[in-house]
Amino acid sequence: MAEQPDTQQLQPAATEDAGRIDPSRVGRLVAIIVALVLFSEAAPIQLGMVSLIVPKLSASFPQAGAGVTWAVTIVGIAGGATMALLGKLGDLIGKKRVALLCGLLLLVGTLLCVLTSSWPLFLIGRALGGAAMALTALEYGLVRDLLPRKWIPIAVGVIGTGFGFAAVFAPIVCGVLTDHFGWRSIFWFLFIYIAVTIPIVMVCVPESPLRVKQSPDVPGAVLFGSSISLILLYVSEGSSWGWASITNLAYLIGGVVLLAAFIGWELRAPEPMIELSLLRKRAVSIPMAAAFLITLSITAISIIVAYMFQTPKPEDLKAQIVGGAAAQAHMPASAVSKFITFRGDISYANGFSVLQMALHITVWTALFGMVFGVAGGWLCRRIGARAVLITSGLCLLLSSALWIKWHSTWQEQVTIGLLYGIAFGFYFAANPNLLIDAVPAERQGISAAMLAVFGAIGTSVGTAVFTAIASAHPFQVVAPAGSTAGSTMAKDIPSVFTDTAYSWSYVALGVVPAALTVLLAIALRTGRTPSRGGASEAILLTEKRGAE
């Protein structure tokens, strides 16, 4: 039996359409979409750029040691902890207002990262940048509240796949700036970018008039944010701290306990942050699960490709290892090479720089994603988002299955990447549209934020699972051990993994999540008709009667 809309939460058409722009004002509508896309790019651009300069941060912050990766980790944790709160604030006080607040926090955090020489202050700056993770969720709400309903499905696809633009843009700009001006120039660029886009949003994008008359659920926000941050901390650092270590397990247990407390509180709260009954609806829970699965896969595949193609070519890597051993032994490299062998296949290695990888691979897959994001939005409006999500899962499954065997050259990556681009674009068009049609307008902010939270958890899990698989298949150098004849010792080469590691990663992190997504999408009872742009059945009936 199909799920029925929650009639107790439906708004009259006149109220929900109060801030909607007239369809005849095409220039105004295009300006709104462009402004929102530019603003939402701040989050993926900062993540993409900063992840590329992590090795360079070690020289400026020697006190960070192995913890230098926290420059990226803390953004995910801070974002996961605050996204739901910021999404709910958008419902309460205005989505544009909260989006601008996120931009200002990112602006302050970026400036702090530029100016400080203190590692703790640098991390505070990065944590402030985590607020930008809520931008896309807030912008989906603005699109729903402001644009004509026929524009919404396509606009959602355009905003979602703007992330593809960031994937192209970030490595190229990052490579040029760091090569000529150092890593701090990245944060100056981000500061200028945000400082320019904030006024554009202020001028071009009106505020949504929709508000929820409700008191903020402070206990619920604190419990949920704390639980998610602890769980993300456990998942993010499990491979380095130890999955079964007492300290790390304490974070997981604490997160689960707080999450249980959050559920208990929300069931009794007079004005809960989010109605848990909403999450139990298949029309909402399946898009949430798809966000976890597809984001897990997208994150893992981006890491897989980066590792494979930036690994030095086999002959170069082996020569480097032999040369280092010869220098330590004070012997000619030709003599040392007779005693050293290598274990593992790294024929996939191409030795690309970040810029080379961007120009050969990333630019193409990202462009595919952007094009199919628009096409996916159009299809959502024509045939419904469910079919688009199923197609996304099938294309991800097929591309991952092909990459299991054919992944060693950039030509293989780009050719198969066409299928991956369809999966990427169709997902970011379909999933938000499914959610927009499944929840009432007054719950759009918190619902989209919860979707982003599930995606953030997927990102952390995908990274952790890849690390575990790769660590189990290291590329090794084998050399004589001690004075005993014939005895040898094997040593892992850091951050270099065998071809088998990547084949299994495509299975576990590509094929499996994609197959599960397809099965879940098939089970959806909603999204089988053209996307409505958030219009409830009651509103559609009102509009139909008005037209008559």
Partnered with residue 478 across adjacent β-strands are 341, 490
Helix (H, G, I), strand (E, B) or coil at 1: coil
**Spatial separation of the C-alpha atoms in residues 44 and 370, rounded to whole Å:** 14
Distance in Å from the first CA to the final CA of the chain: 30
**Distance (Å, whole) CA 413 – CA 432:** 28
Domain that holds residue 248: 219-270
| Helix boundaries (H) for 182-313 | 184-204, 218-241, 246-268, 276-280, 282-310
* Degrees to nearest 5, angle at CA 289 with 506 and 302: 30
For residues 152 and 278, state if they share a domain.
yes
For residue 195, how many other CB atoms are within 10 A of its CB? 13
Residue with the two structure tokens 């701290």: 241
**Residues 543 and 459 reside in one and the same domain:** yes
pLDDT of residue 485: 61
Between helices 410-438 and 444-471, what is the axis angle to 10°? 150
Same-domain check for residues 96 and 240: no
Burial of 199 (0-12, 13-18, 19+ CB in 10 A): exposed
DSSP symbol at 489: E
Q: What is the pLDDT of residue 6?
A: 42
- Asked if residues 388 and 529 have their Cβ atoms less than 8 Å apart, the reply is no
Instruction: Please indicate, yes or no, whether residues 112 and 160 belong to a single structural domain of this protein.
Output: yes
Do both 160 and 229 map to the same domain? no
Dist. CA 502–CA 512, nearest whole Å: 14
For the beta carbon of residue 261, count every other beta carbon within 10 angstroms: 16
Answer whether residue 538 is part of any domain: yes
Quick check: is 322 in a domain?
no
Torsion of CA 97, 299, 127, 89, to 10 degrees: 30
Residue 136 falls within a domain, yes or no?
yes
Note whether residue 249 is domain-resident: yes
Between helices 499-506 and 444-471, what is the axis angle to 10°? 150
Per-residue pLDDT of the chain (548 residues; tens, 9 = 90+): 344 444 334 444 446 667 788 888 899 999 999 999 999 888 888 887 887 787 678 778 887 776 777 888 888 888 888 888 898 899 888 999 999 999 999 999 999 999 998 999 999 999 999 888 888 889 988 998 899 988 999 998 888 776 667 767 777 888 788 878 888 999 999 999 999 999 999 999 999 888 888 788 888 888 988 998 899 888 878 877 888 889 889 999 999 999 999 999 988 888 888 888 888 889 999 999 999 999 999 988 988 998 899 889 999 998 888 888 788 877 887 877 788 889 999 999 999 887 888 888 888 888 898 899 999 999 999 999 999 999 999 999 999 999 999 999 999 999 999 999 999 999 999 999 999 998 888 888 888 888 888 988 888 888 888 888 988 899 998 887 766 666 778 888 888 899 999 999 999 999 999 999 999 999 999 999 999 887 654 444 444 444 44
Please give the C-alpha separations between residue 218 and each of 80, 87, 265, 523, in angstroms, as whole numbers. Answer: 17, 13, 11, 35
One domain for residues 129 and 278: yes
Residues 260 and 153 in one domain: no
How far apart (Å, rounded) are the C-alpha atoms in residues 441 and 428? 20
Classify residue 543 as exposed, middle or buried by CB count within 10 Å of its CB (0-12, 13-18, 19+): middle
Specify the number of domains making up the chain: 2
The CA-based angle 317-318-319, given to 5 degrees, is 90
Element housing 242 (H / E):
none
Give me the amino acid identity at 26.
V
Map residue 475 onto helix, strand or coil.
strand
Q: Which secondary-structure segment (H or E) carries 59?
A: helix 42-60
CB 510 within 8 A of CB 399: yes
Handedness of CA 496, 497, 503, 509 (dihedral sign): negative
The answer on 244 and 165 residing in a single domain is no
CB 321, CB 340: distance < 8 Å = yes
Locate 485 and state its tokens: 């004849």
Q: List the structure tokens of 272.
A: 């809960």
Q: Cα(130)–Cα(102) distance, rounded to whole angstroms?
A: 9
Same domain, 289 and 396: yes
Quick check: is 12 in a domain? Answer: yes
Residue 360 is given by DSSP the state I
DSSP state of 474: E
3-state secondary structure 79-123: HHHHHHHHHHHHHHHCHHHHHHHHHHHHHHHHHHHHHCCCHHHHH
Give the span between the Cα atoms of 540 and 256, in whole angstroms. 41
Q: 327 lies in a domain?
A: no
Q: What is the CATH number of the domain that holds 383?
A: 1.20.1250.20
Question: For residue 205, is it within any domain?
Answer: yes
pLDDT of residue 10: 40
Does residue 237 contact residue 258 with C-beta atoms inside 8 Å? no
Q: Are residues 191 and 226 in the same domain?
A: no
Beta carbons within 8 Å of 268's beta carbon, 6+ residues apart: none
How much is the pLDDT for 484?
62
Residue 329 is assigned to a structural domain of this protein? no
The rounded distance, in Å, linking the Cα atoms of 233 and 67 is 13
Are 192 and 232 contained in the same domain? no
Q: State whether 435 and 354 are in the same domain.
A: yes
